[in-house]
Amino acid sequence: MKKRALITGINGMDGSHLADLLLEKNYDVFGVERRSSTRNRVNTLHLVEKIEFLNGDLTDQNSLFRCLKQSDPDEVYNLAAQSHVRVSFDIPENTVDGIAMGTLRILEALKTSCPNARFYQASSSEMFGDNPNFPFNEDSRLMPASPYACAKVFAHNLVRNYRQSYDLHASSGILFNHESPLRGEHFVTRKITLAAASIKLGLQDKLFLGNLEAKRDWGFAGDYVEAMWLMLQQDEPDDYVISTGETHTVREFLERVFDYAELDPKKYVEIDERLFRPHEVPYLLGDSTKAHKVLKWEPKLKFEQLCETMFKADYEYLKIR
């Protein structure tokens, strides 16, 4: 009998990659999207005939009950969020309501209507914030440095509380930065690859960036959604750090991409102080020893390959527009 999975945030980068993975594994997939006057299916156009889209919103409790009833899932993946850290300083209430209270609403709906379904929560490496004691594992102190990260800490602790209080099979993946050609254009990695392709094709003259010295542990989203799935295949629920164990600066990402594009970043890149975060997280590095041992998970795509893959995808995308 085919398993059934419900994914919130279906139209995001992770939602699209996860849906592809689950379809390969012969799941019936249901994706939750917010109703709006225009459809936001840039990442999921190829899924329109393959999955069922449901109207729902993490700020609307009744819609979550309805989505659970319609999908009757074996597995629920909560990926929905306002996920841009810099933007969370500008719209903190919206960010916190969707992530923190949204997770509470879906856990309550799950507990009431389908308590046997397995639940995955998208936690974040941003929860470690400016903790200087890296690399970070599942027991590292959480020191969030943005409204986004604070909301993720609340949701992370809430999942653990519901797991212990109501015996839910609820796991959290503490995912470090992960990217793909499906990443939103306002995130720094995609902003860089899209600009490099645009400049190469004569469509753009300048790229404005903020802090180039922030160090991040970057992996490939396609690898990371496999870790999400593996968590829900375990007999016991738990929390796992998912990372590559390598760190690179934004400057390194920029230089690698511009090198593939055969461009000199000094000619095209300018620093804009308005793009800096009010509270910067200088260094993120993960320790995924537990995931390696328990889940048998390993990242496949290396940093250099990720940079090249994203640039080539944007170059081909712009060339045919």
Is there a domain that residue 123 lies in? yes
HSE (side-chain half, CA atoms, 13 Å) at 102 = 24
Q: Are residues 67 and 170 in the same domain?
A: yes
Q: Are residues 120 and 207 in the same domain?
A: no
pTM score: 0.96
Q: Are residues 138 and 204 in the same domain?
A: no
Angle between helices 303-319 and 188-200 (to 10 degrees): 50
Domain containing 84 — which CATH number?
Answer: 3.40.50.720
Q: Which of 101, 66, 65, 109 is nearest to 80 (CA)?
A: 101
User: What's the domain range around 18?
Assistant: 4-178+220-242
What's the total number of domains in the chain?
2
Q: Are residues 90 and 112 in the same domain?
A: yes
Q: Are residues 58 and 135 in the same domain?
A: yes
Quote the pLDDT of residue 36: 72
Q: Are residues 86 and 118 in the same domain?
A: yes
Active-site residue, selected from the candidate residues 33, 75, 126, 252: 126
CA quadruple 160, 162, 164, 169: dihedral, nearest 10: -90
Cβ atoms within 10 Å, residue 1 = 4
User: Residue 230: which H helix or E strand, with range?
Assistant: helix 221-231
Instruction: Split the chain (321 residues) into runs of 10 and give each run's mean pLDDT.
Output: 96 98 98 81 95 96 97 98 92 96 98 97 97 97 97 98 98 98 95 97 96 96 98 98 98 98 96 90 95 98 97 94 75
Buried b (16+ CB within 10 A) or exposed e, 260-298: bbebebeebbeeeeeeeeeebbebbbbbbebbeeebebe
Q: Are residues 309 and 253 in the same domain?
A: yes
Query: CB of 297 within 8 A of CB of 246?
Result: no
Q: Are residues 160 and 189 in the same domain?
A: no
Is there a domain that residue 296 lies in? no
Active-site residue, selected from the candidate residues 27, 77, 120, 148: 148
Quote the pLDDT of residue 39: 72
Q: Are residues 142 and 60 in the same domain?
A: yes
Is there a domain that residue 168 lies in? yes
Quote the pLDDT of residue 37: 56
Active-site residue, selected from the candidate residues 88, 124, 125, 172: 124
Is there a domain that residue 292 lies in? no
Q: Are residues 21 and 131 in the same domain?
A: yes
Q: Are residues 41 and 68 in the same domain?
A: yes
Domain containing 275 — which CATH number?
Answer: 3.90.25.10
Residue 148 among the catalytic residues = yes
Cβ atoms within 10 Å, residue 130 = 14
Q: Are residues 208 and 274 in the same domain?
A: yes
Is there a domain that residue 74 lies in? yes
